[in-house]
């Protein structure tokens, strides 16, 4: 069969970009990598004893229905092999990492190199009753991020989570503040335009695909911690919430034993919502009273009065570091 002519026939019939490329069996993986760097996606591969023929499309022009018809049209070929795109391979690899963190990247993408550092964002939906899919969100992301390529920067992992890998030059700098600001911008974009609840988690800049794998594991663990201990927080970074990340990694039985052990030393304090908010803000501000008062929009003397009342109720002074640790652990494990 003339595979190249078949590709031309499809282009004439649909008006959609499709390319047929022939090479040796030893060359096809490298050729595929080069093509996907230029925005082409391998959708179909045919091989015989020594030759390979690749069908590549520009994915932004092919909607799901057209892609399905294309695969159906190509399927009757003699020895076809439907292959995963680079994005699909990366998604499979990332999904395997929480259970198998030492798994190397797929061989076909190990040569993937980045000319500059990247920042990884983990986007996750927080409501399961929504009917949308990531395909409806991707156009928003492409419009929001200038110069983004079809692959491999947007990587849907499952109906709940999506990885976004952004060149550092787009963000502007490698400072933690800029990374977090970008995460807040993404969260606001999704909340306003997709009209749904999303959480956005961000990693520090990284240089290699292997680093991206490690960052994803950290973000995955952070996601579990946020779901369990900080469900109302919609933006977080992998360098934040170390106590929550530690607690989320504990087996439930161990966490229960810790809470029981702390309660045996001192009764679990009964705190009002205002007192809990005061403590959370104080801990987030590294026990800095002035910064805490400013964050709570109250006078410093009002804050000191609140802290004194907490000490009266609990016997623990939150301005004293050992007592603050106990109070923070009580708040943390008391959420479950």
Do 70 and 177 sit in the same domain of this protein? no
Rounded to 5 degrees, what angle do the CA atoms 86, 125, 171 make? 60
Cα 63 to the center of its chain, rounded Å: 24
Residue-wise DSSP of 281-322: HHHHTTT-HHHHHHHHTS-HHHHHHHHHHHHHHHS--TTSHH
Count other C-beta atoms under 10 Å from residue 279's C-beta: 24
Query: What is the total count of domains within the chain?
Result: 3
Lowest mean pLDDT, pick from 66-70, 273-277, 328-332? 66-70
Do 260 and 177 sit in the same domain of this protein? no
Do 150 and 240 sit in the same domain of this protein? yes
CATH number at residue 131: 3.30.70.270
List, in order, residues 6 or more apart from 112 with CB less than 8 Å away: 33, 86, 105, 152, 209
Instruction: State yes or no: pLDDT of 111 exceeds 60.
Output: no
Do 104 and 233 sit in the same domain of this protein? yes
Do 121 and 215 sit in the same domain of this protein? yes
211-222, pLDDT tens digit by residue? 999 999 999 999
For the chain, percent of residues with pLDDT exceeding 70: 87
DSSP E strand boundaries for the chain: 18-24, 41-47, 51-57, 80-81, 118-125, 154-156, 161-167, 198-202, 235-237
Residue with tokens 């920067």: 153
The whole-chain average pLDDT of the chain stands at: 83
Do 74 and 162 sit in the same domain of this protein? no
Of the candidates 154, 134, 122, 152, the residue with the CA atom closest to the CA atom of residue 220: 122
Instruction: State yes or no: pLDDT of 105 exceeds 90.
Output: no
| Banded model confidence at residue 97, pLDDT cuts 50, 70, 90 | very high
Looking at per-residue pLDDT, the higher value among 55 and 290 belongs to 290
Looking at per-residue pLDDT, the higher value among 1 and 322 belongs to 322
Q: Give the pLDDT confidence score for residue 269 in this predicted structure.
A: 62
Sign of CA dihedral 29, 34, 37, 39: negative
Of 184, 218, 246, the residue that ends a domain is 246
- Give the integer Cα–Cα distance in Å for 150 and 114: 15
| Banded model confidence at residue 264, pLDDT cuts 50, 70, 90 | low
Do 107 and 194 sit in the same domain of this protein? yes
Do 274 and 233 sit in the same domain of this protein? no
297-306 long-range contacts, CB within 8 A, separation 24+: 303/278, 306/274, 306/275, 306/278
Do 11 and 129 sit in the same domain of this protein? no
Do 165 and 306 sit in the same domain of this protein? no
Of the candidates 234, 276, 225, the residue with the CA atom closest to the CA atom of residue 255: 225
Of 66, 83, 100, the residue that ends a domain is 83
Do 322 and 329 contact (CB within 8 A), yes or no?
Answer: no
Do 94 and 201 sit in the same domain of this protein? yes
Do 99 and 195 sit in the same domain of this protein? yes
Tell me the mean pLDDT in the region 161-178: 89
Of 185, 219, 246, the residue that ends a domain is 246
Residue 161, SS3 per DSSP: strand
- pTM, entire model: 0.68
Look up residue 131 and give its two tokens: 């009917």
CATH number at residue 263: 1.10.10.2840
Q: Which domain holds residue 255?
A: 250-334
Look up residue 2 and give its two tokens: 């003339």
């Amino acid at each position: 069969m003339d595979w190249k002519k078949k590709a031309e026939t499809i282009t004439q019939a649909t008006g959609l970009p499709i390319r047929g490329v022939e090479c040796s069996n030893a060359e096809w993986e490298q050729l595929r990598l080069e093509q996907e760097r230029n925005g082409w996606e391998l959708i179909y591969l045919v091989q015989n004893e020594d030759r390979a023929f690749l069908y590549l499309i520009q994915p932004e022009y092919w909607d799901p229905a057209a892609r399905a018809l294309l695969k159906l049209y190509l399927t009757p070929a003699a020895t076809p092999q439907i292959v995963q795109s680079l994005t699909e391979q990366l998604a499979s690899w990332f999904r395997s990492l929480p259970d198998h963190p030492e798994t190397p990247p797929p061989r076909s993408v190990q040569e993937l190199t980045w000319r500059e550092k990247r920042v990884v964002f983990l986007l996750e939906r927080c409501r399961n009753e929504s009917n949308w899919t990531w395909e409806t969100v991707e156009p928003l992301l492409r419009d929001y991020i200038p110069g983004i390529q079809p692959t491999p920067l947007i990587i849907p992992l499952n109906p709940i989570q999506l990885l976004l890998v952004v060149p550092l030059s787009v963000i502007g700098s490698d400072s933690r503040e800029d990374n977090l600001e970008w995460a807040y911008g993404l969260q606001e974009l999704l909340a306003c335009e997709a009209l749904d609840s999303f959480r956005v988690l961000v990693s520090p800049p990284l240089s290699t695909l292997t680093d991206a794998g490690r960052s994803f594991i950290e973000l995955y663990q952070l996601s579990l911690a946020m779901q369990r201990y900080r469900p109302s927080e919609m933006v977080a970074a992998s360098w934040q919430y170390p106590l929550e990340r530690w607690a989320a990694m504990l087996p439930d039985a161990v966490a229960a034993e810790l809470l029981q052990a702390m309660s045996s030393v001192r009764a679990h304090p009964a705190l009002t919502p205002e007192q809990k908010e005061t403590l959370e803000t104080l801990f987030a501000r590294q026990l800095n009273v002035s910064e805490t008062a400013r964050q709570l929009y109250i006078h410093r003397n009002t804050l000191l009065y609140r802290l004194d009342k907490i000490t009266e109720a609990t016997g623990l002074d939150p301005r004293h570091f050992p007592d603050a640790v106990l109070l923070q652990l009580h708040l943390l494990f008391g959420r479950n």
